Amino acid sequence: MSLSFKARIYKTGINWAVDVPEKVSAKLKKTKGYIRIKGKINGFDFKTNLVPVKDSPHRLFVNGIMMKGGNTALDKVASFEIEQNTTKVEEEYPVPSPLKKALKEHKVEKDFKALTPTRVKDILRYLYYIKTEETLQKNIAKVIKQLKDKSKNTRIP
């Protein structure tokens, strides 16, 4: 089910964003408040998450690639078509078997599953592109340490 809306792109802090109308976000499934979507901005394809904002509608952050591809700019009104992204993060970026083993060995599987979908995606995407086993193991050790320390939002490497 594709949902359409138009919104003015504004700046919040250092980021560009649009507010997604409540009637649109209400039709999509939330996971820990976030909504995984795929869609188009002025016909340009993208995948991202809608971010919950306290006492406001969900926010859609518009990055530079989306701005350029959608041929739009700050303070311009853009057309959006969005739908639920049902592709599992693990399908896009499979969990490496050494990570599975380390999570189980260190008993932090529940902590890993408790991370936000975006954080899991960031970790899996980063690990997916690592070329050497040595670097993979080094970065898995960092993930395990962060999970044990409960510093879930720290960047790797």
Of residues 11, 5, 102, 16, the one with CA closest to residue 65: 16
Task: Determine if the pTM surpasses 0.85.
Answer: no
pLDDT at 59: 97
DSSP code of residue 155: -
Pick from 154, 135, 133, 128: which is nearest to 143 by CA? Answer: 154
In whole angstroms, what is the distance from residue 38 CA to residue 153 CA? 24
Give domain 3-84's CATH number out of 2.40.30.100, 2.50.20.10, 3.40.50.620, 2.70.70.10: 2.40.30.100
Q: Sketch the domain layout of the chain as residue ranges.
A: 3-84, 89-149
Walking along the chain (157 residues) 10 residues at a time, the average pLDDT comes out as 95 96 93 91 95 91 96 97 86 89 94 86 90 94 90 54
